[in-house]
Amino acid sequence: MKKSQVKSVVELLMDSMNLGVVYVDHQGKIQLCNRKAKEITGIIINAQQGHAAGRISEGDIVIIADNKLGEDDGLMGREELSYLNIHDTGIEKGDMLVAVGVYKNKKIEPRYKYIREHSLNVPVKLDVNYLGFHITVVIDTGKKETMISVNDMVHRLRYFFAVGNVVVIDGSTGGLKFFQMKGYSARREDLGNLMRGAPYREKTTEDIDVDVTGQDFSDLFSGLPLAENMHAVLNGKREQIKNQLFEINRRPFDCSIVKWNAEEAPEKSGVFLLLRDASHLERMLSDRNDIIQQIEEHNMAGETAGCDYPEDAFSGFAGKSVKAREVKYLAWKAANSRFNVILTGESGTGKSKLAREIHNIGMPQAPFVEVNCNAIAPTLFESELFGYVGGAFTGAKSEGKIGFFEAADKGTIFLDEIGEIPLDIQVKLLHVLQNKTIYRVGSSKPIKVDVRVIAATNRNLEEEVAQGRFRQDLFYRINVFPIEIPPLRERKADLYLLINQLLGQVCEMYDLEQKQFSGEALQKLVSYNWPGNVRELENAIERAITLCESNIIYSEHLRIGKGNIPVTMKEMLAKEEARILEMTLLKYNGDKQAAMEELDMSRTVFYDKLKKYYIKY
């Protein structure tokens, strides 16, 4: 078989395996590049519509969706924006920009919107009628996608880290002149270059291959770490590399690098680069946890530079998914303000832990008082929250007692399950929040308190307001800065990190040698939906560690599912009743008489409940 035939067979084989293959010789020249490699890196364009080659001209309408200005857009900056008559000095590098303007026309006003790059899962959108065109521009940080629509003709471009998407309308004909597609870095069609007058290539719907044999690898595949590793393998400084994540043209690829020695002609020795597009590998959680870790670390390495919170902030709230970063972003903003905050989400999502971290970041030296409103008897709410003077009621201490608000003065009070507070106490709580003044039970002397309130609930307070169970004015007062913590089933990409974090914490807590989960056990943990959220996951890990006598935790050590969560109303009520009993006893250091009085239970009923739920104090 001739050498050219062998080359064709190799390319055909790799294409059928959905695998890109590139062979680069010792001089950095491409000697083989199959069609799949060209497709996934954008060298070959599979366009649904086309346009001729050209360049942006005066009078053309330019539409931009740039999620990180000055990054993957050919160093787009203020000078280039001035060509669209945008002279806003508030626009900075790293901003998210959606804009439309006329190229090099100083008379026609542009339309644009920009905001600082953020971790909110909220699309940035510009929707305008501009010079007879209905134009919509969207940057969706949740989907990692940009969308430019012109009269309902839609152009989408996904991104991993950054993107400079652009569509150009011909100023003379009103027709589509240019649209961006993946691989634009390899074609030198970065937004900044185009704005500075660089030409762009033709796009066609025809199936046309591109011969890149003999071209420099670096001209088509940008990415310094990849090039350095290929050079190291070629020179024998590194062994072959298998399934490692590298960035090519600002997108992630699962790469393997293998050296090949040409014995008959050593000067032709080189390396094979095997490629798979890794943009969606984070979805393959159950199969490729190793790659997920790399993607998450890669994501954070790129994105924390533009985030408004330090990388090590909220270490107790594990997660690097889009939803986790949104929570951390909002929590960081809350920590650096004195606004009242309300944390919402299902039970067990980590609201109390996040509340403490918000406090520790903003006021680390100030008091933090946590109040479990679900564990306070209705008759004791006022005295617990605001305190009392001596002799205020039967059983009151002669010296009186300060309440939770006084104890939290100059700091934070965390009102967990605030929806449990009775209506008559809600009125008094509203007064405290409005006037920063409390009255101890039995006293008419006002006491000033400077307290920041963080509330939490797993109820829908708006629905509670509609049902008349929660005061509307109090809801507005505490709902200044809401943060919703998503359930664990909605951030499955965080599970691997969270499992490892909890495993380490529990082993350290019980002074045990560090353990690890087997692949089968990890698969079982990852595939479960965790209706009890982080609390259920933590309980499952603690039980597994207790049962496991070696350093490897197997699936047999895990008990998850129907066996350890309440599924009927009766079971749920029983579990909650047991929790209240335990919390009340804990509050009074095991004083059963005090617990009975707070819960307003007879001695017989109280001890029957302790026996029923196996509670021992």
Q: What is the pLDDT of residues 409-419, one digit of tens each?
A: 999 999 999 99
Which one, of 539, 542, 543, 519, lies nearest residue 530 by Cα?
539
Q: Are 341 and 455 in contact (CB under 8 A)?
A: yes
pLDDT at 567: 44
Which one, of 97, 110, 177, lies nearest residue 139 by Cα?
97
The C-alpha atoms of residue 598 and residue 616 are separated, in whole angstroms, by 18
Residue 593: how many other CB atoms lie within 10 Å: 10
What single-letter DSSP state applies at residue 280? T
Q: Which residue type does 350 have?
A: G
Alpha helices, H only, 17-53:
35-41
Residues 413, 348, 575: CA angle, nearest 5 degrees? 105
The C-alpha atoms of residue 434 and residue 430 are separated, in whole angstroms, by 6
Residue 556: how many other CB atoms lie within 10 Å: 13
Q: Domain 490-564: state its class.
A: mainly alpha
pLDDT at 71: 85
DSSP string for 319-357: --SHHHHHHHHHHHHHHTS---EEEE-STTSSHHHHHHH
Report the topology of domain 3-43+211-279. Beta-Lactamase (3.30.450)
Residues of the chain with pLDDT below 70 are: 1-18, 46-47, 117-120, 207-208, 222-223, 250, 262-268, 279-309, 311-312, 561-572, 617
What angle in degrees, to the nearest 10, is found between the helix axes of 603-612 and 569-587?
110
The CA-atom distances, in angstroms, between 314 and each of 292, 362, 534 are 21, 12, 15
CATH for the 339-484 domain, from 3.40.50.720, 3.60.15.10, 3.40.50.300, 2.70.150.10: 3.40.50.300
Q: pTM of the entire structure?
A: 0.60
Q: Which residue type does 175 have?
A: G
